[in-house]
């Protein structure tokens, strides 16, 4: 069957009413990080009712499973459509709708976490159904994985891809229905400023760790790390590796005795571009701390690498990217641009092994009052997932 005709037939099979209705339903199920089970069970029911093979709850953490299933079209490549179920906590200030109401108002569905990324999960399921319903001659397996713990340690994605492989993958993170090649990484460093404690009455004998930490915070905030990058990576992600003191822990807890603290911990949040390794970022961190020592020789600090989540970027000429480029062309009729994200995706944990492109409905701002997504964008994303899956499996 000719490629364009096959894609058109699959797109015509998208059930637009179903995708909008299901998006409303998932928006009514809270799934804040740590409470993903309710949404996982609902999605499992959708998969089972739709006849997905191997539909089940994949154990990740206690009461926090993944929901998985696939459609078997015979021998061929394995294509995975995936995204996370967990969300951040609800923002205050909702006025136009209820956070978990899933209301449809003037062409928009309202719901907490709809863009990150409850709608994309539904779009992926309905896209898989459309490929099957169209009867186009595809071969292979079209799999779906709704994962937990993205905003924790990405254990849901790690667990899924430990058990299942994939030839191609689409991560449904919010990209405004544009093609994202990848995202920055995240390196956490814990910097413990070390002073000398004393009773507040004996202040001249103490070295206040909070004061030392404040000096380090100002130096770190002023950092402008611009490492050497491949030109095309720099054009996608920008030239600066962002470093920000994100959290500070110092002093004694409220309600206890008072004294001058001898420790204060700074959590430095670093967002590197692809190609920027931990050693490069740590070198800039050490440069900043050396500057603090020169200004105040009392400054001492212990530095620990607390967490590493790798940046990710797909080769623009790879099969997975070019398949998505063709899918967007088929749906939109225009040439898509290739972009990249500043946020962190689950591809930090599996992208090195699984060729993945990022595409999903919704964009900034996200996690704000009255979060909403247009029906038009929901339907377009479903059609693009349908076109991608058809092209990837077309025999």
Look at residue 327 and give its three-state secondary structure: helix
Domain extents in the chain: 3-183+311-393, 186-309
CATH classification number, 186-309, choose in 3.40.50.300, 3.40.605.10, 3.30.70.360, 3.40.50.2300: 3.30.70.360
Tens-place pLDDT, residues 49-59: 999 999 999 99
* Overall size of the chain counted in residues: 395
Closest to 147 in 3D by CA, of 137, 162, 136, 133: 162
Tens-place pLDDT, residues 313-325: 999 999 999 999 9
Tokens 């967007």 belong to residue: 328
Instruction: Supply the mean pLDDT for the chain.
Output: 97
Question: Distance between CA 346 and CA 70 in Å, rounded?
Answer: 20
Give pLDDT, residue 146.
98
Question: Distance between CA 345 and CA 150 in Å, rounded?
Answer: 8
Structure tokens at 121: 């999960």
Residue 256 has pLDDT above 90, yes or no: no
Question: Distance between CA 381 and CA 359 in Å, rounded?
Answer: 8
Give pLDDT, residue 1.
76
Question: Distance between CA 363 and CA 199 in Å, rounded?
Answer: 51
The b/e string for 137-150 (b: 16+ C-beta within 10 A; e otherwise) is: ebebbbbbbbbbbb
Question: Distance between CA 222 and CA 119 in Å, rounded?
Answer: 39
Are 381 and 138 contacting, i.e. CB atoms less than 8 angstroms apart?
A: no
The region, left, alpha or beta by phi > 0 then psi within -120 to 50, assigned to residue 62 is beta
Mean pLDDT (whole number) for 132-155: 97
CATH number for the domain running over 3-183+311-393? 3.40.630.10
* Surface-to-core class of residue 269, CB atoms within 10 Å of its CB (0-12 exposed, 13-18 middle, 19+ buried): middle
Residue 253 has pLDDT above 80, yes or no: no
Closest to 282 in 3D by CA, of 217, 220, 208: 220
* Surface-to-core class of residue 347, CB atoms within 10 Å of its CB (0-12 exposed, 13-18 middle, 19+ buried): buried
Residue 149 has pLDDT above 90, yes or no: yes
Residue 361 has pLDDT above 80, yes or no: yes
Give pLDDT, residue 181.
98
Q: Which of 252-266, 298-312, 377-391 has the lowest mean pLDDT?
A: 252-266
Where residue 35 falls among pLDDT bands split at 50, 70, 90? very high
Tens-place pLDDT, residues 211-240: 999 999 999 999 999 999 999 999 999 999
Where residue 395 falls among pLDDT bands split at 50, 70, 90? confident
Task: Using a cut of 0.85, tell me whether the model's pTM lies above it.
Answer: yes
Are 36 and 148 contacting, i.e. CB atoms less than 8 angstroms apart?
A: yes
Structure tokens at 314: 């797909």
Quickly list DSSP for 136-195. --B-SEEEEEEES-TTTT-HHHHHHHHH---SEEEE----TTSEEEEE--EEEEEEEEE-
Residue 251 has pLDDT above 80, yes or no: no
How many CA atoms does the CB half-sphere of 27 hold within 13 Å? Answer: 29
Structure tokens at 232: 């095309």
Question: Distance between CA 372 and CA 27 in Å, rounded?
Answer: 10
Where residue 90 falls among pLDDT bands split at 50, 70, 90? very high
Where residue 387 falls among pLDDT bands split at 50, 70, 90? very high
Give pLDDT, residue 97.
98
CA–CA distance from 329 to each of 7, 379, 390 (Å)?
11, 15, 14
């Amino acid at each position: 069957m000719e490629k364009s005709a096959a894609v058109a037939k699959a797109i015509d099979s998208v059930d637009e009413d179903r995708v909008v209705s299901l998006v409303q339903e998932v928006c009514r199920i809270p799934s804040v990080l740590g409470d993903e089970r309710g949404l996982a069970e609902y999605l499992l029911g959708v998969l089972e009712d739709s006849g997905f093979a191997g539909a089940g709850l994949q154990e990740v953490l206690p009461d926090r499973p993944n929901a998985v299933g696939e459609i078997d079209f015979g021998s061929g490549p394995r294509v995975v459509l995936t995204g996370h179920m967990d969300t951040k906590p609800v923002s205050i200030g909702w006025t136009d709708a209820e956070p978990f109401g899933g209301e449809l108002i003037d062409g928009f569905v309202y719901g907490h976490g709809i863009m990150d990324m409850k709608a994309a999960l539904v779009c992926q399921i309905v896209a898989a159904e459309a490929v099957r319903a169209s009867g186009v001659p595809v071969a292979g397996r079209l799999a779906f994985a709704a994962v937990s713990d993205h905003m924790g340690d990405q254990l849901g994605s790690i667990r899924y891809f430990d058990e299942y492989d994939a030839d191609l993958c689409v991560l449904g993170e919010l990209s405004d229905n544009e093609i994202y090649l990848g995202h920055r990484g995240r390196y956490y460093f814990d910097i413990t400023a070390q002073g000398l404690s004393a009773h507040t009455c004996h202040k001249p004998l103490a070295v206040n760790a909070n004061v030392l930490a404040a000096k380090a915070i100002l130096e770190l905030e002023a950092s402008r790390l611009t490492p050497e990058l491949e030109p095309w990576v720099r054009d996608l992600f920008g030239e600066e590796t962002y470093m920000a003191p994100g959290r500070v822990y110092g002093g004694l807890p409220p309600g206890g005795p008072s004294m001058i603290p001898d420790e204060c911990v700074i959590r430095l949040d670093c967002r590197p571009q692809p190609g920027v390794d931990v050693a490069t970022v740590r070198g800039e961190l050490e440069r900043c701390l050396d500057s603090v020592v020169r200004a105040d020789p009392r400054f001492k600090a212990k530095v620990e690498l607390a967490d590493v989540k790798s940046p990710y970027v797909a080769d623009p000429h790879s099969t997975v990217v070019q398949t998505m480029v063709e899918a967007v062309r088929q749906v939109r009729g225009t040439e898509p641009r290739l972009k990249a994200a500043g946020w962190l995706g689950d591809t930090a944990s599996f992208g090195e092994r699984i060729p993945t492109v990022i595409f999903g409905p919704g964009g900034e701002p996200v996690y704000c009052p009255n979060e909403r997504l247009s029906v038009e964008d929901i339907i377009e994303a479903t059609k693009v997932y349908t076109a991608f899956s058809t092209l990837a499996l077309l025999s």
